[in-house]
Amino acid sequence: MTTTATDKKGSFMTMRQLLLSLGVLSASITPVFAQSTAPIKIGMNCTYEGGSSEMGISVRAALRIAVGEINAVGGVGGRKIELVERDDKAKPDVGVAVAEDLVNKEKVVATIGYCNSGVAAKAVDVYQKARVPLIIPVATGTAITKKFAGEAENYVFRVAMPDEKQVDFILHDLTEKRGLDKIAVFADDTGYGEGGLKDVVRLLEKRSKKPVFVARFKQGTPDLSAQLKEARAAGANALFVYALGPDMATVSKSRAAIGWNVQQTGPWTVAFRNHIDVAGAAADGAVMPQTFIQDGVMNERSTSLVLQYVKQNNVKNIPCVMCAAQAYDSMFVLLNAMFQAKDLSGPAIKDALENLEQRVTGVVGTYRKPFTKDDHEALDGSILVLGQVKGGLVQYAYAGDARRSILASRTKAQPKPAIMPVAATK
């Protein structure tokens, strides 16, 4: 029986067809490092407990699926991939220790990891110093990939939507499309909340506006009714919340408790199941930026991932579907780079990532030269759509976005070719 992307024979392309479609298998490709038979170690870390657990669990499961697919057809040049998993417990110091362990002890050739921006912000130094590529599939803090942007080499890459692009997308919808310009901002006391708040304030200032109310709160605060009443009294007509799912649920429930029917929004964490499932009906109507919507229109790649995920993990919904999709895509982008690289050294893989020749068809979209030497963000705001919680599911807020998602399967807007002037004729 031929190995397929799902357990339904004939429903989807074979693994070999799948990888050929991604450009990672070719009869002419025999990497020089294929002479060894030792597994190729790739690091993976996030946290699997607490408020960030849904991100880590989703990333880990998606990477296991991706690695399973790759190993099923022989790995890279006959060498299997070994996923070295670590738990950073959402603590910056642990995140640094994990990085040092993966780089110095496990000798990984690259890592796909970090869910929390505050953890990633400190750990990236380890990868930069060791000259080992790090691809971040979740942590969205704007400054993370810019930390070493001015240096001769930058080993920090990302396949996730930076906060600043999410914020700009949402503010455009609120202020310019719907005229909701009296915005109250609620941000947790983590590095994630701090960075998000700065992006909201900065991008409001670009629009000659400022928040009408700002509240900072400690993670795990059980009730935010008092602060929400203050925001309502300040005249807010939109509520921008920068927090993870559990605290997002606290805002939703507290808002419903005081009877305030105001537009609630935030970054992609609004779509996390630990917000929607905990808040219940109070989450309905909340909107958020999305790179991939599980309950929307899906292609063959995304359908395969979702079906494998729900079967292997015995769940109805992926806890953080964007985390899973971006992690899965990260693995195949890295795989292409490893095939292209002259060897498996950090500098060689980094150079291949910055000059990727093969197009990669992923779940989020199609990656055509996702990185350059000066741009280590694989995604940009051109692919974002507005999601909305409806009846416990995340669906397209605008019908037009569903149609656009079918037609525009890309991860970054491609530069327009230069138009050469037409010579005058006599």
7 assigned to some structural domain = no
Higher-scoring residue by pLDDT: 234, 418: 234
Residue linked to tokens 């759509």 = 385
423 assigned to some structural domain = no
Contacts of residue 2, defined as CB under 8 A and 6 or more positions apart, other chains included, come to 9, 14
Rounded to whole angstroms, the Cα distance separating 206 from 176 reads 13
- Would you put residue 28 in left (φ > 0), alpha (ψ -120 to 50) or beta? alpha
Helices vs. strands in the chain: H and E counts, helices first? 13, 14
Rounded to whole angstroms, the Cα distance separating 68 from 309 reads 12
Per-residue pLDDT at 402: 77
CA gyration radius for the chain?
A: 22
Q: Are residues 222 and 124 in the same domain?
A: no
Give 37-65 pLDDT, tens digit per residue.
899 999 999 999 888 899 999 999 999 99
| CATH number of the structural domain spanning residue 241 | 3.40.50.2300
Q: Please give the residue range of the domain that contains residue 143.
A: 15-161+295-376
Specify which residues 81 forms β-bridges with. 40
Grade residue 351 by pLDDT with cuts at 50, 70 and 90: very high
Per-residue pLDDT at 370: 95
* Best CA proximity match to 373, nearest among 352, 345, 358, 343: 352
419 assigned to some structural domain = no
SS3 of residue 87 by DSSP: strand
415 assigned to some structural domain = no
Give 95-149 pLDDT, tens digit per residue.
999 999 999 999 999 999 999 999 999 999 999 999 999 999 999 999 999 999 9
Per-residue pLDDT at 382: 87
The backbone torsions φ and ψ at residue 404, rounded to the nearest 5 degrees and listed phi first, read: -65, -35
Contacts of residue 382, defined as CB under 8 A and 6 or more positions apart, other chains included, come to 410, 412, 413
Counting residues of the chain whose pLDDT is more than 90, the rounded percentage is 77
Higher-scoring residue by pLDDT: 422, 344: 344
Give 289-324 pLDDT, tens digit per residue.
999 887 765 677 888 999 999 999 999 889 999 999
User: Per-residue DSSP letters for 341-380?
Assistant: SSSSSHHHHHHHHHT--S-EE-SS-EESS--BTTB-BS--
Give 229-280 pLDDT, tens digit per residue.
999 999 999 999 999 999 999 999 999 999 999 999 999 999 999 999 999 9
Q: Are residues 206 and 220 in the same domain?
A: yes
Per-residue pLDDT at 426: 40
Mean pLDDT of 5-20: 43
Q: How many domains does the chain have?
A: 2
* Best CA proximity match to 87, nearest among 68, 59, 117: 59
Per-residue pLDDT at 302: 86
Q: Are residues 264 and 403 in the same domain?
A: yes
Mean pLDDT of 68-84: 94
Q: Are residues 143 and 256 in the same domain?
A: no
Sign of the C-alpha dihedral computed for residues 301, 304, 310 and 313 taken in this order: negative
Q: Are residues 131 and 172 in the same domain?
A: no
Q: Are residues 397 and 364 in the same domain?
A: no
Q: Are residues 249 and 261 in the same domain?
A: yes
pLDDT at 29 over 70: no
Per-residue pLDDT at 3: 37
1 assigned to some structural domain = no
Q: Are residues 302 and 340 in the same domain?
A: yes
pLDDT at 2 over 50: no
* Best CA proximity match to 46, nearest among 95, 103, 2, 102: 95
39 assigned to some structural domain = yes
SS3 of residue 202 by DSSP: helix
Q: Which amino acid makes up residue 349?
A: I
Tokens of 373: 């030497």
Give 200-230 pLDDT, tens digit per residue.
999 999 999 999 999 999 999 999 999 999 9
416 assigned to some structural domain = no
Per-residue pLDDT at 7: 40
Q: Are residues 204 and 156 in the same domain?
A: no
Per-residue pLDDT at 34: 64
- DSSP H helical segments within 78-162, as ranges? 92-100, 117-130
- DSSP H helical segments within 86-162, as ranges? 92-100, 117-130
Contact 386, 398 (CB under 8 A): yes
Rounded to whole angstroms, the Cα distance separating 132 from 350 reads 8
* Best CA proximity match to 392, nearest among 205, 252, 291, 206: 252
Q: Are residues 94 and 199 in the same domain?
A: no
Cα–Cα distances (Å) from 274 to 3, 283, 396, in that order, read 34, 11, 19
Q: Are residues 38 and 126 in the same domain?
A: yes
* Best CA proximity match to 76, nearest among 107, 110, 104: 110
Grade residue 9 by pLDDT with cuts at 50, 70 and 90: very low
Q: Are residues 330 and 391 in the same domain?
A: no
Query: Integer distance in angstroms from the first to the last C-alpha of the chain?
Result: 69
Give 388-411 pLDDT, tens digit per residue.
999 999 999 998 887 766 655 678
5 assigned to some structural domain = no
Give 149-205 pLDDT, tens digit per residue.
989 999 999 999 999 999 999 999 999 999 999 999 999 999 899 999 999 999 999
Element housing 170 (H / E): helix 163-171
